[in-house]
A and B are shown apart, each in its own frame.
Chain A
Amino acid sequence: MGKARLLVLPLLLAALLLTTAWTGQVAIVGPGQEGVSGDFEIFTWWTAGGEADGLNALLEVFQERYPDVNIINATVAGGAGMNARAVLKTRMLGGNPPDTFQVHGGQELIASYVVTGYMEPITFLWEEEGWLDVFPQDLIDMVSYEGEIYSVPANVHRSNVLWYNKAIFEEYGLEPPETWDDFFEICDVVEADGITCLSLGDVGIWATVHLFESVLVSELGAEGYQALWNGELDWTSDEVKGAFELLYQILQHVNEDHGALSWDQAVQLVVDGEAAMNLMGDWAEGYFTSVGWTPNVEYGWVPSPGTAGTFIVVTDTFGLPLGAPNRDAAIAFLRVLGSVEGQDAFNPLKGSIPARVDTDRSLYDEYLQSSMDDFAVDTLVPSLAHGSAAPESFGADFGTVMSVFVATGDVDLVSSAAQQICVANGICQ
């Protein structure tokens, strides 16, 4: 008898395994017919500071309008979103998408998720809400594919901003640089006193790619830069090689320990007066604010040298995954996200400008207002370092190329490698 009972145990175990496998399938309850209710899962990498505050403010607006929805705020911390994207990919591949998720506009959205058939077009939503007139056309193009729109931009960051320490610039009687030649002259002045000219924190290499995209725009112009991404300009061309050479000269004026610092530690060097300038996206403004600095008092900014009139866009967007468990709630959330109220709840706290151009200016600080002015008139181009300009597979390999370049400075080698990657990704011929 005792032994016979033992038979039951493995059977029970097997049954247990089976049921746990099953419950994962049936746990999701469909949305109610009337109104919007049920669980709504939003997936981001906004876990701390102003980003998390902004997200919470946005979700509060959403909750007020749709009180029956149970919001599940699924964030994954770390690595400027790299860890979150890894988790997201496994979920999408496994057929378990969240209801909506954060994704940079441009190729990170289009190449990774739209072309591969993971997203549902939401052009109908844009038409119903009348958004086509209030978002800039360049931005709409970044989230569109073959005539359909696939996501709603939540915010806009500018990549090509040069930040400078006003005290240092006043002390030496310097003007912020308009060209890279101006920049090198400033370097000669401040370096004579042992001040680092440009601070850089490129652990994980993306900050150097970030610097390089500004250099590319200054060397090629907005049109030439765009030509790189539609395959009309080769990476082995003299213009691009010139950009690599310029980058190498600039790298001679950065702090020696750049490989060991993160971007915020590099900004801190400017705050400490150890470095005169820093080239970083305007999320750096949030860092200046967090250490108590006031725009245009302690720190100033200009478009990075040679890029005035061009606005390199980094935009976080949210779309509708095909097979979202609670599609109604996701659409309701996207409506809130694209509304003036939603954009103005999120962006002042996040430290970014709204993606639509008809919001309440008075909510934003001096820097953000100046950025909004530029955003309205400048040529908008996608960012390379933040996944908008080229597919992720290009970006990942290009990071390797950039690491090798920082170590060797071999222009011919890296431009031919970049060309190979470009061909492998189907951008170049």
Chain B
Amino acid sequence: MARSRAARSRIERIVPILMITPSVIAIAVFVYGFIGWTVYVSMTNWRGLAPSFQFVGLETYNQLFVGIFDLGRFRTDLVNNVFFTILFLGTCIVVGLLLAILLDQGIRGEGIFRTIYLFPMALSFVVTGVVWRWLFAPSSGINILPTLIGLEPLNFQWYIDNTKILTFYWPGLAPILVGLGMIVALGIGISLWSNQARRKYVPIPALAFLAGLIWFLAGGPQNSPNVPIPEEHGFHPALIAVVIAASWQLSGYTMAMYLAGLRGIPEELREAARVDGASEWQVYRHVVLPLLRPITLSAMIVLGHISLKIFDLVFTMAGDANMPTDMPGIYMFRSTFVGSEFARGAAIAVVMLIMVAVVIVPYLVYSTRREAEL
């Protein structure tokens, strides 16, 4: 009897491990193995269909960030992607929150409206891209709407508009990264300072900040790799068309999340605020919105990684060689599968992975900690 119990407890220990083993192996190989493989390929000189694994270190990355062989296409993509992400997240969150608050007023037919707003999410980005491509076609789409009431047609070229505003020059990556690092260090330092228990850690970010400052003062920016000719970058108004299409599709998603959040706020809290004499605006400003903050955070994470990796929407809307709306994902596809530049494609993929990781990993750490605390 005793032996069989021991055997049983051993089985109880082994079975769960065996159960997860296949998926652990599969993920180790097909996710992390291939990530490692991609990183490796990005450091080789593999171009053309014959694999070649001569190690060239970070040369491909160097080419992408400061080379001029592609006329700065990758740098344009990064700038476009940052602008797109900011505008897309902002629009989705504002529109979604507004719709959710309106729906939360207990209007009649709420279910119908909820479905209508949520419906675009059911479509594929490819469909959205094609539809909005037609709607924004400069000579046949939205631009000719005013002619229906006798006005002049609009003249904005939408996604093929070639202009650039808010222009700046590409100064090389190092100063940007160091500058960003200093800002982050400053932020961490301040938040540590405000917490009595953690104040003793303040010297760490302070040292990092100081190191950055010394680098700048010692002439680091002048000595770091830079593009040979000054290269103008900026915000392409053409991105507005893409932002509209993308937010049309995903605002319903933020609306649904906010609506769920609003439903989760006990009516007593609002009542208490009203009893204290708060106006309806103040109730939202000081009670409801702060309680929705975690939802904003997760919406930003979910939408953020979509927008950093965006490909299909832009691809179907504006094609794969339209610089004003070009994105890293499109350039990666074109390099790898049109140009057979496998090393370059892998390098772009790795940069994209890092960008997404910068967004996701802190969130994962934060939410696991919270779970542990609860």
Contacts and interface: CB of A to CB of B under 8 A. Distances in A.
Contact of B133 (A93, A260, A400): A260
A400 B338 CA distance: 12
Nearest to A406: B162
Nearest to A394: B339
A204 B319 contact: yes
A396 B339 CA distance: 5
Given A7-B18, A112-B340, A256 B49 contact: no
B227 to A, nearest CB: 12
A89 B49 contact: yes
Interface stretch (B301-309, B320-328, B358-366): B320-328
Nearest to A8: B18
A294 B246 CA distance: 43
A399 interface: yes
A424 B320 CA distance: 22
A18 to B, nearest CB: 11
Contacts of B12: 3
A172 B71 CA distance: 43
A25 to B, nearest CB: 18
Q: Which of A117, A393, A421: most chain B CB closer than 10 A? A: A393
Main SS class of interface, A:
helix
Interface in A56-93: 82, 85-86, 89, 92-93
B319 A203 contact: yes
B217 interface: no
Contact of A204 (B19, B47, B136, B320): B320
Contacts of A424: 69
The 9 closest A-B pairs by CB, nearest first: A396-B339, A259-B160, A86-B337, A205-B321, A116-B50, A203-B319, A204-B319, A257-B138, A393-B339
A413 interface: yes
Contact of B323 (A82, A93, A112, A403): A403
A420 B339 contact: no
Given A13-B22, A116-B49, A392-B339, A257 B15 contact: no
A113 B318 CA distance: 30
Nearest to B19: A10
B51 interface: yes
Given A7-B15, A261-B137, A404-B323, 15 more contacts: A6-B19, A10-B21, A14-B21, A14-B22, A257-B138, A257-B157, A260-B136, A260-B138, A260-B318, A395-B338, A397-B69, A404-B71, A417-B69, A420-B68, A421-B69
A17 interface: yes
Interface in B9-53: 11-12, 14-15, 18-19, 21-22, 26, 47-51
B143 to A, nearest CB: 9
Interface in A187-244: 203-206
B334 interface: yes
B139 interface: yes
Nearest to A205: B321
Contact of A7 (B11, B51, B162): B11
29 contacts: A3-B11, A7-B14, A10-B18, A14-B22, A82-B338, A85-B337, A86-B333, A89-B49, A115-B50, A116-B48, A203-B322, A256-B138, A257-B137, A257-B160, A259-B157, A260-B136, A260-B138, A260-B139, A261-B137, A392-B338, A395-B339, A396-B334, A396-B335, A396-B341, A397-B70, A407-B324, A413-B71, A414-B71, A420-B68
Interface centre among A4, A6, A255, A400 (most CB of B within 10 A): A400
Interface string A404-423: 10110000011001001100
A118 B49 contact: yes
Contacts of B49: 89, 92-93, 112-113, 116, 118
B139 A256 contact: yes
Interface residues of A, number: 54
B65 to A, nearest CB: 16
B71 A399 contact: no
A327 to B, nearest CB: 20
Contacts of B137: 257, 260-261
B73 interface: yes
A113 B50 CA distance: 8
Nearest to B334: A396
Contact of B322 (A116, A392, A395, A403): A403
A3 to B, nearest CB: 5
A92 B49 CA distance: 8
B311 interface: no
Contact of B8 (A3, A17, A115): A3
A250 interface: no
Nearest to A6: B15
B22 A17 contact: yes
Contacts of B73: 400, 404
A92 to B, nearest CB: 6
